[in-house]
Structure 1
Amino acid sequence: MDAHGAIARISLAAIKHNLAQAKRLAPYAKVIAIVKANAYGHGDLKVAAALEDEADMFGVARFEEAQKLRAAGIRQPILLLSGFLNAKQLQACAHQQFHVCIHQFEQLALLETTPLSAPITVWLKIDTGMHRIGISPEQVDLALSRLSKIKQVIQPVNAMSHFARADEPKQRAITEAAITCFNQATHGKVNDRALCNSAGVLAFPKAHSDFIRPGIMLYGITPFSEQQGSDVGLRPAMDLVSSLIAIRQHSRGEPVGYAGTWVSPRDTRIGVIAIGYGDGYPRMAPSGTPVLINGRRYPLVGRVAMDMATVDLGPEGDEQVGDEVLLWGQGLPAEEIARHVNTIAYELVTRLTSRPRWEYIE
């Protein structure tokens, strides 16, 4: 018996392959590799270190994420996608040479009035249809005019936007309209432009522009709900594995797990896996969600608990306590598990807790 708890095995080689695939798709664009949310659950410091010679820049969502990368010795430019929240953060951004996103006039006013220790690079965020953050297209000229008068801003500034529906093939017209809106608002007025997230990189080559911003695709996951990464030349970067810690005989008509949500229709064997929502595996994974054991698929049965999940091994077989169980990864795409859980693979990989052990494979 050589059982173990949950392990997230991260292939840095797969992540490098996926970045190379993004570059092949957008050969004339530079790359902002998105490592926010702990590199989508894959480990921001390890991923950034692995990609530092491959990516032109890194992108994060939070000021603290950018600070963490700098403190770890990452010297590449870092783009703070949500910008700064106050004058203190702005001053730190200038000092640490972060690129900052400006998405509202309150930030612009801080930039006009806050003394900085070094010039700062600005990306003007334009709202082309997401309607969360961003300067409206009608106000772009005003924002650019004010930015051009700030001596501590490196001129000319850059511009970016974020697609709201590029991952929906049936809504191409909406994304095409966003591309047109962005181009009309920025053409001839800014330095570099960045428009494409992973879905844009994969589906809208005419929008690749000066920089692309691959995120989820770096980790081998497609943004399209009806596909998986291998369909677009990507390799899954994370294998989430655990092991069987018990196998028991189970009679027809017996329930298993909390609330008896599943009752066996036959005599069978139940395998107990050392994985649960305490590790970040989704509690809402329904009976029938597949796992892979010794290259064969088996269905989860019963309710996922904090520390354990149960699987129907069938009445006969050679599975043993200690056998490794793949929850998602090579051979069992996270996208497929996400469809069973009625979520997206982004959520699966980013919600893992600190309990699983992380192993990195070059």
Structure 2
Amino acid sequence: MARPLIAHIDLEALRHNYRLACSLAPASGAVAVLKADGYGHGAVACARALEGTAPAFAVACIEEAVTLREAGISLPIVLLEGIFEAGELEQVETLGLWMAVHSDWQVEALLAHRLARPIPVWLKVDSGMHRLGFSPERAEAVWRRLAAAPTHACDLHLMSHFATADRVDTGYFAGQMARLEVLAERLGAPLCLANSPATLARAEAHGAWNRPGVMLYGSDPLEHANEASRRLAPVMTLRSAIIAVRELPAGEPVGYGGRWITPRPSRIGVVACGYGDGYDRHAVDGTPVLVAGRRTAIAGKVSMDMLTVDITDIPDADIGSEVVLWGRAANGEVLSVDEVARCCDTISYTLLTGVLPRVPRRYHG
């Protein structure tokens, strides 16, 4: 009998979330972001599920683009970080990729390379994130230089990234937005700005293209949910089962270090899932799980291959009972990956991308 831990991927939920992103910004194109192996969901399977709907995909690097092309994905693919060395330009051209340009050396490499056809370029502007990109003042000069080289660069867009689009406080976001609007108006440039939180909550940032990422996978990136984000559907259900049950008296320690002590006579379920599968070791006592579709909690430290849950108040739970670490249980009850992430002092991105290869993916819908 196989180990029961499986990551179930609901491709219809993925399509639902993509359609939601499109409905929120009907005048924008929506690039489906598939970096980090589709946020841990499997980039190829997600691309195939969206191929008939999405006009373009986005990845972080050329290796991720190659994986999609080798799987037969023919739609445009944007390299969100551009090239990492000049030699990659040959592959960019051969594979028909679009690319971000964020540094002077990338501009020089592009203009020096002999191309059979120009490459669509998204010029990255540092509007306040202070990670990648040209300052707004420098970006104008670079834009004009690229625009004057139509044999090398085409379909120019301005691109930026927001640091606080998820927050209720809009002050810093508004400052970034104002700098970009001034620059875009001066250049007559189409914009690609909105990440998931801006797609969900900042209509003023909706441009020629938006870049929905984690929202496609059902995670709410907003500081406080809004009407739109409440409509997101979970795509990954990390599901396992109870493999052993322990009946313990009050006062007994459970797990490494004895962190959790039974407060009463307790039934403890041992679950086939641990940090060796990607479940976060920082999960505190009380981190929610669903057992047989009912909420209970982790009791004791997460081990490499197992974790323990308190099933005292679920008397029908036994060996073989379904355990949902996040996602949708068989009875329809949902445990948000965002709620689990908060109990691990992290964000959903780390949990979803952290599910390791030994956990098989099963695709549905």
Query: TM-score, normalising length from structure 1?
Result: 0.96
Alignment-derived partner of residue 261 in structure 1: 259
1:229 shift after superposition:
9.3
Matched AA of 1:321: I
Given the alignment of the two structures, is residue 56 of structure 1 paired with residue 55 of structure 2, yes or no? yes
Q: Do 2:256 and 2:301's aligned partners in 1 also have CA atoms closer than 8 Å?
A: yes
| Amino acid in structure 2 at the alignment position of 1:204 | R
Distance 2:43 2:190 in 1: 25
Residue 191 to residue 258, structure 1, CA distance change in 2 (3 Å): same
Matching of residues 197-346 of structure 1 within 5 Å: 197-227=195-225, 231-314=229-312, 317-330=315-328, 331-346=334-349
Q: Distance in 2 between matches of 1:123 and 1:316?
A: 54
1:187 offset after TM fit, Å?
A: 2.0
Moved more, 148-157 or 12-21: 148-157
1:103 equivalent in alignment to 2:102:
yes
Structure 2 length normalisation: TM-score? 0.95
CA change 1:199–1:308 in 2 (3 A) is: same
| AA at the equivalent of 2:359 | P
Mean Cα displacement is larger for which, 206-215 or 187-196? Answer: 187-196
Cα distance change, pair 63–6 in 1 and its aligned pair in 2 (3 A)? same
Q: Partner amino acid for 2:363?
A: Y
The two structures, once aligned, show a CA RMSD in angstroms of: 1.7
Corresponding residue number in structure 2 for 1:196:
194
Write the distance in 2 (CA, Å) between the matches of 1:182 and 1:360. Answer: 40
> Matches of 1:106 and 1:48 in 2, distance apart?
31
Does 2:354 match 1:351?
A: yes
Range 107-116 or range 185-194, more displaced: 185-194
Tell me the CA shift for residue 214 of structure 1: 0.4
Paired AA for residue 201 in structure 1: T
Give 1:180's aligned residue: 178
Q: Secondary structure at the match of 1:128?
A: coil
Deviations 1:303-362 (A, max 9, x none): 100000001111771111011100001211011111111111111111000111111111
Within 5 A, what are the aligned runs for 1:138-153? 138-153=137-152
Structure 2: distance between partners of 1:40 and 1:102: 23
Q: Deviations over 1:93-148 (max 9, x none)?
A: 01111001000111101112122233211110001110000010011221012212
8 Å Cα contact 1:3/1:245 also seen in 2:
no
Query: Aligned equivalents of 1:131 and 1:16: distance in 2?
Result: 33
Percent of pairs identical after alignment?
42
Instruction: Find out whether 1:157 has 2:156 as its counterpart.
Output: yes
On the 8 A contact 2:272/2:305 being kept in 1, the answer is yes
Q: Which amino acid aligns with 1:358?
A: R
After superposing the two structures, state which structure 1 stretch, 176-185 or 270-279, moved more. 176-185
The CA distance in 2 between the partners of 1:190 and 1:180, in whole Å, is 15
Report the CA distance shift for 1:3/1:294 in structure 2 as closer, same or farther (over 3 A). farther
